[in-house]
Structure 1
Amino acid sequence: MKRLLAAAGKGVPCPKFPGASSELVYTNNDWYIIHFGDLGKIHKAASLGQVQKLESMTVKKKSIDLNKRDAKKRTALHWACVNGHAEVVTFLVDRKCQLDVLDGESRTPLIKALQCQREACANILIDSGADVNAVDVYGNTPLHYAVYSENLSMVAKLLSHDAVIEVQNKASLTPLLLAIIQRNERIVEFLLTKNANANAVNEFKCTALMLAVCEGSSEIVGMLLQQNVDIFAEDTYGMTAEHYAAACGVNL
């Protein structure tokens, strides 16, 4: 991620959407690290995609708790989603497991499916009524993770199921601002057609247009200008989009 004001000589960093090694959004282990000795039989079977074993367990023990949590509050559904076992997800959903249990980072199975890019699992959960507006400990919703993964089809699916488009995470990024930082023109264009706020700002009051200018995306800049954005809005440091454009050698 570029530094927004470096070209202007102020050296103030634009807050980036934290990735695998960053502090606000993702942890270092997006995929769960498996220590089988710490897992119950149901979690182990789900993580390995062993549907028949799960079926056998439910037949032998009719009172088995499908929502049982491991030491880090993860359910069998979490484990199935992280490892992309759609058939296990279907099995658990059909047996009325809880869809929105939170793990140790307040992430639902849907969030984990999107974070780990398990689209088939995510589709099953969304169609089954999973909460598309759940918020994890970092303030991210499923929509944030779909945008971060650059998955336009999942972005569209979430919005069609009433995902809120303007939620800011703890890095002060709406899905639109995140898509701009990602320089994903297709998702930016789609979000704008869904009435995303083109004048959204981050914690430094940097507007969507400022971010697009500093990311060097002329296509996204053009899209935003067509939205009649406020080019005179000032950030925390009194800079406008025109100041950024001059500093970055971009014409507005």
Structure 2
Amino acid sequence: MNKPDYNELMELTKDYIDTFDTIFRLTTLNEDEIDKLYNDIKSKLIETKKVPLSDIFKAIQMAALYNNRYLNSYWLLFKKFFNEYHPLNGIEFVNQGFAALYIKEYNTEYDESFDNLFSKTTLINGSLSLHEKNSIYWAIMFDNKDLFIQLIEENDFDINQIYSSAFYPIHDRGFSLIELCCYYGAVNCFKLLRTKFKSQITDFCLDCSFLSGKPDIMNECLKELKPSYETMPYAIISHNIDFVMFLQNEYDLKFSLEDCVRYYNLHLFLVYLDQTKNINECFLFSPHFHCKSLCEYLLSHGADINSKSPYGETAIHNAVLENCKEIVELLIIHGIEINVKNDYNVTPIDIAATHKDNELAEILISNGADISDLNPFGKTLINSSVMYANEDTLKALIAKGVNWNAKEKIHGKTALHHAAENNKFGMVEFLVAHDVDINSKDKYDKTPLHYAVINNNLQIEEFLISHGADINAKDNQLKTAIHYAAEKNRKEILINLISHGIEINSKDNLGQTALHIASMLNNSEIVKILVSHGADINA
């Protein structure tokens, strides 16, 4: 069997590599060029089903964090995808600055904590910018030597000023001026700070110099400091293979496949395979790139389909984690073990149950996935599916005759307990429609109604009662729903319970009624409601 060929793999994955390189190495504010990149991403990555939209959103945010001179371009790109595709499952924000922009642009739920982030952006000639024009930070961002000289000569200039913003990579103490120079590759400003103020080069200066990639700055930093393991991720993020190889060859620094995946650097992944010849390790990681042809290639060149990571994961764990339907099907066709457990006893079907709106669970179940086993937390598959509101998985379980009333190992809760406890009204409706035991008790003898009251969900409370829930059911402390309504100060819940005829003077194991509890907790409005509805003040 032929060994993997680096050049063949580069050609096979060319669209993926070229497109993500362009995203991370963006150097334009021109809208026509942004349109071209947008169309390239659509045609080469999304429409070919190579990469899910969620990964495109994450990559844009991540690239903007490490290349924010072009924040406006990244934001335009982000909006183009959002406005066309309107993702139903929301967006995972890996860049708090982008989260703030999203909230502001689309009028989603406002959080006052974002006020400071809004103040960190400005519009200049209609374009989004992080810095006010003619500020010291503006001068550094565009390496404007004349403006920088003018500003540092002013009497109130503070050489020790620190800049912090969520639009930059996380750095505990913020950015000094010389660190900003390294981040932006501002050679002229950097040299002025070094000659005029003797500004000290920090480890973070060195790290950032591999982002901007300006030889003058990198060489000056390397004269003072030696790269560390913290430097390597910045070289990987730059999507400049030469920088990574320099750190590896000159300083014996290693790079990880995890970072190749995290920063969408498939080119470096292929370099790793070419260097190490470790086809099984690379095969394990290959599903993370959503590239079916890559997985097929590695399998056809000798990868062991059931090879495991040091933590016991196989390729199917990773394919399910990434929600890669095509790759999961490919692995199943090639005979991968479908019920394999990692070192934490997690199976692929356990992972599938945590996804929303996907067909993976159905594929796994139809191909022999074990639906009776408990996950590492003692939960049944149906419980996990309810927790993540995964109706597709529940439907697949129906077809297999799953026991709706199966209880988890630790707390003895059924799927309906979890649905009520986690305010999943749609799941409550779904389960009740399939004849689940509405009065099932957990390890503490609590019914789903108890949890609906505790969590102040009037909608679920009313639904359960109207569908036969025992309103006077007692837990292991002999408390009924009315005791918890009084304890938690649930006025609307309490009134609804009373309207349905709950025993108002029921006593718990301490002989206390709801009125006793409300009085002890000084819940005066609850007391008034109870007394006005006939609670026995002498009980």
Please tell me the TM-score bracket, short chain as reference: 0.7 to 0.9
Contact 1:36–1:44 (Cα < 8 Å) also in 2: no
**Could you tell me which residue of structure 1 aligns to residue 187 of structure 2?**
none
Matches within 5 A, 1:41-120: 41-61=315-335, 64-84=336-356, 86-120=358-392
Matches within 5 A, 1:175-194: 175-194=448-467
**Could you tell me which residue of structure 2 aligns to residue 242 of structure 1?**
515
- 1:5-58 superposed Cα distances (whole Å, 9 cap, x missing partner): xxxxxxxxxxxxxxxxxxxxxxxxxxxxxx964212222221121222222222
Residue identity matched to 2:425:
L
Gaps (5+ residues) in structure 2? 1-307, 531-539
Larger deviation, residues 117-126 vs 159-168:
117-126
Instruction: Please report how far the alpha carbon of residue 146 of structure 1 lies from its aligned counterpart in structure 2 after TM superposition.
Output: 0.9
Contact 2:412–2:442 (Cα < 8 Å) also in 1: yes
Structure 2 CA distance, aligned partners of 1:150 and 1:40?
34
Residue identity matched to 2:414:
T
Bigger-Rg structure (1/2): 2
- 1:70-115 superposed Cα distances (whole Å, 9 cap, x missing partner): 2233221111112436221121133243322212233222212222
**Could you tell me which residue of structure 1 aligns to residue 505 of structure 2?**
232
Structure 2 CA distance, aligned partners of 1:165 and 1:245?
28
The DSSP-based 3-state class of the residue aligned with 1:52 is helix
**Could you tell me which residue of structure 2 aligns to residue 11 of structure 1?**
none
Contact 1:126–1:158 (Cα < 8 Å) also in 2: no
Contact 2:507–2:513 (Cα < 8 Å) also in 1: yes
Structure 1 CA distance, aligned partners of 2:388 and 2:426?
15
Instruction: Please report how far the alpha carbon of residue 65 of structure 1 lies from its aligned counterpart in structure 2 after TM superposition.
Output: 3.1
Residue identity matched to 2:332:
T
Q: TM-score, normalised by structure 1?
A: 0.76
Tell me which protein shows more helix as a share of its residues. 2
**Could you tell me which residue of structure 2 aligns to residue 209 of structure 1?**
482
Contact 1:147–1:155 (Cα < 8 Å) also in 2: yes
Q: TM-score, normalised by structure 2?
A: 0.38
Report which structure shows greater RCO (CA 8 Å, sep ≥6): 1
The DSSP-based 3-state class of the residue aligned with 1:86 is coil
Gaps (5+ residues) in structure 1? 1-34
Larger deviation, residues 186-195 vs 231-240:
231-240
Instruction: Please report how far the alpha carbon of residue 240 of structure 1 lies from its aligned counterpart in structure 2 after TM superposition.
Output: 1.4
Instruction: Please report how far the alpha carbon of residue 119 of structure 1 lies from its aligned counterpart in structure 2 after TM superposition.
Output: 4.2
Structure 1 CA distance, aligned partners of 2:502 and 2:356?
41
RMSD: 2.3
Structure 1 CA distance, aligned partners of 2:457 and 2:506?
24
Structure 2 CA distance, aligned partners of 1:175 and 1:96?
32
The equivalent position to 2:447 in structure 1, one of 166, 174, 189, is 174
Instruction: Please report how far the alpha carbon of residue 216 of structure 1 lies from its aligned counterpart in structure 2 after TM superposition.
Output: 1.9
